[in-house]
Structure 1
Amino acid sequence: MDSAVVKGVATNHLSMEWIKLKTLGKGSFAIVHLVKPTNSVSDDQVFAMKSCLYQLSSSLQKEQKILKRFFPCRNIVQCYGDMLSFEQGAVVYNLFLEYAPGGSLLDLINNKYGGKVPECDARCYARILVEGVRDIHERGYVHCDLKPGNVLVYPSDEYGSVSSLKIADFGLAEQPGERVDEPGVDPWMLKFPGTAVYMPPEGINYKKISASMDIWSLGCIVLQMVTGKLPWEYEDLTDLAIQLGSRRYSPKIPENMSSTGQDFLSKCFVRDPSERWTADMLLSHPFVLPDRPSVAISNKASSP
């Protein structure tokens, strides 16, 4: 455990000191720590702090600007600001995020459910995710990297035994419309806007970002919850691209799933993005509609 006190300064000159309690995760250029402010009067006041060298922080700074737009969306991870710190001779950019004590949805699938989520619970999780995706799209963004590892888990009284979920990791998020290819990149090299196995057919060598991409990815997450498997079996990215690009292949929807569940996934996996259902449309699908409470029937006999 790194117990050294770190001091950070924000752009408005506000300063704060914190202690790193433990490492939560590491990426290619950033690291996530659980931190606690030194002036906290409560043991519960902790943050997930995503940090990287300032010269590599363009993606984190972009994420901070985007997350500001999603306050106070209940199904999107909340951001509490950013600060610069000076550590080991380098300037570090720090992004303070809402801490998820339950880890990621991938952890939940594997640890709580042993690899497969019962459909009754998957329906609740699917509704939470659709609500979050709708909020993202209503505010003019496409997440572009929806997957179980980018969905965080929180305790919730509202759903009983089912946890609450919040969508996180907006570093690859974009606004709908044209996207310019990176200069100097081999035009024949396969490129995906997000994680390849969760991408829709139009995600191969993408030219344009659209909200419908997130809907396909959402379907992949629900499919993985109920089957415990990735939506595609493939040998390499070329094999995956062939399957995505061919109408002979599609994610296999389980036969033992309810008819409403199968229909929900079929609406997510429409190959033509213009025909794919939107998040608003999916919210009215029977698969994610809350169960209606049974109506009590009076057994009182009427007097003659």
Structure 2
Amino acid sequence: MKRKQEPQLHYGDGKTWLRGSMIGQGTFGCVYLATLKKPNSRYSYLPPTMAVKSAEVSVSASLQKEIEVLYNLQGCHHVVNCFAEEITSGEHGEMIYNLLLEYASGGTLADLIEKSDGCGLPEFVVRRYVRSMIQQY
């Protein structure tokens, strides 16, 4: 079996992007819309608009595990890309762990399930998502 190449992780400096409004909140953190302060070639791996998932470092273990899952699924067209991880200071001096993610305006798979009014997703939709993930291997 061919071993996947380890992804190259870019560690940001916390000064390249500007946190915008909160667009979601979950068990493991909050998600914000973010924009680059000064798009240039040094940060060409970052898009001008992205989502930043954040949590205090002291409670970020699940978020740090999420990055491993995202890298294992890299290249899957139905899973967002993760561009970087970094630690920044919050408003009150607390340390914040951030994942810089591809912004997907269509919402999450959980949103899609919630919109199904308790009926769940049709089997053909579930198969499509599962197939897209396992085809990567």
TM-score computed with the length of structure 1 as normaliser: 0.34
Q: Which residue of 1 aligns with 2:96?
A: 92
How far apart in 2 are the matches of 1:117 and 1:57?
30
Structure with greater strand share of residues: 2
What does 1:213-252 correspond to in 2, within 5 Å?
none
Q: Which residue of 2 aligns with 1:27?
A: 26
1:60 matched to 2:59: no
What does 1:85-164 correspond to in 2, within 5 Å?
85-87=88-90, 88-108=92-112, 123=124, 125-135=125-135, 138=137
1:39 matched to 2:38: yes
Q: Describe the shift of the 1:102–1:37 C-alpha distance in structure 2 as closer, same or farther (beyond 3 A).
A: same
Q: Describe the shift of the 1:64–1:13 C-alpha distance in structure 2 as closer, same or farther (beyond 3 A).
A: closer
How far apart in 2 are the matches of 1:118 and 1:83?
35
How far apart in 2 are the matches of 1:61 and 1:51?
10
CA contact (8 A) 1:80 1:97 kept: yes
Give the drift of 1:126: 3.3
Q: Which structure carries more relative contact order (alpha carbon 8 Å, separation 6+)? A: 2
CA contact (8 A) 2:12 2:85 kept: no
How far apart in 2 are the matches of 1:28 and 1:110?
16
In our comparison, the structure showing a higher alpha carbon Rg is 1
Aligned length: 120
1:70 matched to 2:73: yes
User: Equivalent residue of 2:107, what SS?
Assistant: coil
Q: % of aligned pairs identical? A: 30
How far apart in 1 are the matches of 2:79 and 2:20?
24
Amino acid at match of 1:52: A
User: Equivalent residue of 1:89, what SS?
Assistant: coil
Could you list the per-position Cα deviations for residues 236-280 of structure 1 after superposition, in whole angstroms to 9, with x for gaps in the alignment? xxxxxxxxxxxxxxxxxxxxxxxxxxxxxxxxxxxxxxxxxxxxx
Give the drift of 1:45: 2.3
Amino acid at match of 1:30: G
TM-score computed with the length of structure 2 as normaliser: 0.68
Amino acid at match of 2:108: S
Amino acid at match of 2:75: P
How far apart in 2 are the matches of 1:31 and 1:23?
7
Amino acid at match of 1:78: N
How far apart in 2 are the matches of 1:95 and 1:118?
28
Give the drift of 1:29: 4.5
Q: Describe the shift of the 1:115–1:95 C-alpha distance in structure 2 as closer, same or farther (beyond 3 A).
A: same
Give the drift of 1:71: 2.1
Give the drift of 1:89: 0.7
How far apart in 2 are the matches of 1:30 and 1:55?
12
Give the drift of 1:101: 0.4
Please list every run of 5 or more consecutive structure 2 residues that lacks an aligned counterpart in the other structure: 1-8, 41-46
Give the drift of 1:77: 2.2
User: Equivalent residue of 2:65, what SS?
Assistant: helix
CA contact (8 A) 2:88 2:96 kept: yes
